[in-house]
Structure formats: C-alpha cells, structure tokens
Structure 1
Amino acid sequence: MRVPPRDSSAASGARSFVTERDGKVRIALRVKPRASRSKILGVREGELEIAVASPPVDGAANEEVCAVVAKALGVPKSAAKIVTGATGRNKVIEVDGIEAALATTRLVGAGTD
C-alpha cells in the first residue's frame, strides 16, 4: 500500500493551524528541537512545523519557538507565548497584535523558503 507524501501547500489544511480566541491568534505547532538551524518547515497534518536549534532544556527551545514565530509574523517576541504543550513537541502558541488571516499568510509564506 502506497502512503501519499505529506503536502505542505496551503490547500492541505494551512488554514486549520491558526485560530482566533479572545482577540488573539492561536497557532498549533509541531516543534523539532536540536535542528541544524531554526526555521519554519511548513504546514503538515494541520500543524505548523518548526525546527529550532536549541535543545529542549530549561525552556531554551520554547523561547526560540516564540522568537521564530514572532519574527515570521513581524511582531515583538513579547507578543508570543506558549499556552499549551510547554514540555512536549506539540504546542499551541498565542500571539497578540495580528489577525488570523494575515498570520496564516505570513507563516505559510515563511515555510516555503
């Protein structure tokens, strides 16, 4: 049985990883720590996949996740915080100061590098 490849295009659920709640944007993430470099990999299986160079020790990877997402969205690092999944690879990050549609566009675009 052949397994279809994971598609990182906007049509593969790119809209589902960003939601709005209480006037803030929430982004579902899958984090890969200890990567060779930090970058947004794309949207896979309804989550934004991010690689970070920091190890998952003492919150270093979490801080870097917030920094990478904030930079891609064009907001200050202080506007991004992890609301669930602080100790796991699957996380939800909350970002203030941006609309969901714009966040989706910028994050999907950042994953095509």
Structure 2
Amino acid sequence: MSWLQLQADGSAILTLHIQPGARRTGLAGLHGEALKIRLAAPPVDGKANQALLAFLAERLGVPRAQLTLLSGASSRAKRVAVHGASPAALQALAHAEAD
C-alpha cells in the first residue's frame, strides 16, 4: 500500500487523490500510488478539504483534530497526517478501498 506510510511515532501519512463535487462521498479505489476518495462537497472555500478530514476522521474513528492536511490544500493530490488511529482502523481503510 504505497498510499499508506506508517511513521515511527505511530502516526500515518495518507497519500490521496480527491474528486470533489461527486454524487456521493466514499472510497473509490486506487488512483496510481494514491487512494482515491470521492467527495460530494464542492471545491469551493475549503469545503472539500473540510469534508475530506471529516470523512477520514469518521472512517478511522478518531477526532477531527487528530488529522492534519500536510499538502494539497488547492490540489486534488493531498497528503494527510493521522495521529492516534488504531492499526485495525488503518487496515480497515486499506481493505475497503472501494465502497
């Protein structure tokens, strides 16, 4: 899983490809070396970024404050740091690459 990088401190870095303005929010499989996520939110005024972090927080079972957008604020290619997610939650995300 090249899109998931586990760090020594227990955090993880997710490499994502985002499709804003989709019909519904959900995982869409792989897009090259990134996990593709469709978001119903439009790419306006940071709404898609907020929707992305909320979606990941819910999916991983962590508070929204434990996710940080590292890069790609105005791009479809994004990197997100996740702190405090259990290995089981990260594995579940990895195995649910399309829903």
Name segments (4+ residues, structure 1) moved above 3 Å: 101-104
Check the 8 A contact 1:42/1:108 in 2, yes or no.
no
How far residue 46 of structure 1 moved from its aligned partner, in angstroms, is 1.6
Letter in 1 for 2:91: T
Identify which of 7, 24, 34 aligns with 1:21. 7
The worse-fitting range, judged by mean Cα deviation, of 43-52 and 16-25 is 16-25
Unaligned runs of 5+ in 2: none
* 1:35 and 2:29 correspond: no
How far residue 76 of structure 1 moved from its aligned partner, in angstroms, is 1.4
Counterpart position of 2:64: 77
Among all aligned residue pairs of Structure 1 and Structure 2, give the percentage whose two residues are the same amino acid.
33
Counterpart position of 1:89: 76
Unaligned runs of 5+ in 1: 1-14
| Structure with the greater alpha carbon radius of gyration | 1
Letter in 2 for 1:32: Q
TM-score normalized by the length of structure 2:
0.87
RMSD: 1.7
